[in-house]
């Protein structure tokens, strides 16, 4: 759980410690151009690279990208195949550069649904970048927040049944330690592209006090200017965390 920074960001304030992004609009971007959906996802991967670079330049310490939801498994089989193939290619092609740039990669979500080749690529990328200290990059794959919360609740229930946990002493910190994001700070800012204004089952527990910025552009068009605009919006807000100020 993240500690609360100064309640009023204001001009000259440091950047948010943790930015999370719902990368939405790849399909619509491709369809608007008469292109195969696969090309929209590839353009989206390029936008992810630009966002990583923008986050490092801005001094953001944690960046989480919502790349593939648990609901995405219900998409057409050829699109799912393209997404998983693109994921493996990205991990293998980018891991050396991420390591050189000091980026530590971590994947959260239900890995069991991926094939062996994808799992090996994820494991290898995490191991190769484990020493990165400049940016903590988390990619949410096969991720759904409700399933994450349910899994944490089950883990707590099992611990209680075994006598390892007193239910009366289960607090927010102990519960959060059972989430996929254990050890990570909560997001300060969540950005969503494509004009949609919802969280879509993303970081529901962790987003309790996150600032939300919704941008109209589609994800493949997202770049450093858009990222900085979201940070500027964030800096102008007064963060109260439920407290009454003034």
Helix (H, G, I), strand (E, B) or coil at 164: coil
Helix (H, G, I), strand (E, B) or coil at 141: strand
Q: Which of 72, 110, 201, 233 is catalytic?
A: 72
Residues of each annotated binding site for Mg(2+): 24, 211
Please indicate whether residue 24 is annotated as part of the active site: yes
Which residue has 């600032």 as its token pair? 211
Residues of each annotated binding site: 24-29, 41, 69-71, 73, 75, 192, 198-200, 211
| Strands across the sheet containing 189-192 | 103-108, 135-143, 62-69, 18-22, 189-192, 211-214
Q: Report the Cα 4 to chain-centroid distance in Å.
A: 20
Q: Which of 24, 186, 188, 226 is catalytic?
A: 24
CA-closest candidate to residue 180, choices 209, 202, 157: 202
Please indicate whether residue 136 is annotated as part of the active site: no
Tokens of 107: 């994947």
Residues of each annotated binding site for substrate: 25-29, 41, 69-71, 73, 75, 192, 198-200
DSSP 218: -
Active site residues per annotation: 24, 72
């Amino acid at each position: 759980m993240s500690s609360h920074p100064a309640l009023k960001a204001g001009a000259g304030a440091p950047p948010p410690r943790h930015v999370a992004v719902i990368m939405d609009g790849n399909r619509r971007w491709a369809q608007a151009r008469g292109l195969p959906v696969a090309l929209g996802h590839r353009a989206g991967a390029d936008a992810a690279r630009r966002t990583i670079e923008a986050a490092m330049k801005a001094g953001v310490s944690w960046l989480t990208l919502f790349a593939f939801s648990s609901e995405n498994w219900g998409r057409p089989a050829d699109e799912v195949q393209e997404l998983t193939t693109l994921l493996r290619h990205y991990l293998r092609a980018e891991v050396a550069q991420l390591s050189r740039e000091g980026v530590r990669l971590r994947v959260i979500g239900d890995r069991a649904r991926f094939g062996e080749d994808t799992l090996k690529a994820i494991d290898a990328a995490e191991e190769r970048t484990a020493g990165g200290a400049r940016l903590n990059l988390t990619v949410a794959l096969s991720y759904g927040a409700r399933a994450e919360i349910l899994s944490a609740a089950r883990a707590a229930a099992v611990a209680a049944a075994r006598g390892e946990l007193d239910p009366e002493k289960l607090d927010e910190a102990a519960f959060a330690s059972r989430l996929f994001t254990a050890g990570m700070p909560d997001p300060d800012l969540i950005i969503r592209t494509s004009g949609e204004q919802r969280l879509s089952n993303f970081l529901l527990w962790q987003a309790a006090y996150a600032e939300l910025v919704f941008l109209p552009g589609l994800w493949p068009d997202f770049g450093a200017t858009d990222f900085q605009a979201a940070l500027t919006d964030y800096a102008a807000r007064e963060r109260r965390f439920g407290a009454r100020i003034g």
